[in-house]
Copies of this chain bind each other. A is one copy, B any other.
Amino acid sequence: MTIATHPGKRAATRDTILDHAYALARRDGLEGLSIGNLASDVGMSKSGVFAHFGSREDLQLAVLDTGRQRFMTRVLLPALKQPRGLPRLCAIVANWFEWGREHQSGCVLLSAASEYDGRDGALHDGVVRQQAGWRDELQKAIAQAVELGHLRRDTDVAQLAFEIYALMLGLHHDAGLFGFDEAGRRTRAAFERLWRSWQT
């Protein structure tokens, strides 16, 4: 008996806490996340939650990484099943679009970007690393599409990545303020124009 529950117990609780923390941070941002709130949401004591992280900053970093993982799992991973080039790039954009729909009410990664872009510290560094990493993945997918001749050979990879990202920012912004439906239509229309500019 006593099947090894131990090796996972601590980690399991930690995951539960992070799950709630992620949900709270979607509404209030990482700066709005407080240990007291989180504890009562999880159903634990403040100190019990606190013990899993050691500091509020470490908790915030862990939540940020949770966001990164979920984004990658939802957006990048399934797209990797598509063949390299334009199909994979389109899958990334489509998944990203759906991520946007699911996160109308707030995205931890984006709010973190605007919360920490102007200061310095561990969270700033974490946000920059996460954003740079994602931009890099995006550029990799674009570069493959160029190499395979799916996009014009003179495509500026970083430029296209910037414009794709900008449209996604537009989607999130308008969806949050004015509703997802119209924002989604605008974003789709913009992407059509974008592909037409760069496709061979």
Contact = CB atoms under 8 A, between A and B. Distances in A.
Nearest to A106: B118
A19 interface: no
Nearest to A26: B118
Contact of A186 (B117, B162, B183): B162
A5 B141 CA distance: 65
Given A31-B32, A169-B173, A177-B131, A193 B186 contact: no
A119 interface: yes
A156 B193 CA distance: 12
Interface residues of A, number: 43
A111 B113 CA distance: 10
Q: Is the interface of A mostly helix, strand, loop or mixed?
A: helix
B158 A186 contact: yes
Interface string A113-125: 1110111000000
Contacts of A111: 114-115
Nearest to A107: B114
Contact of A197 (B110, B113, B193): B193
A14 B118 CA distance: 26
Contacts of A32: 31
A87 interface: no
A70 interface: no
A159 interface: yes
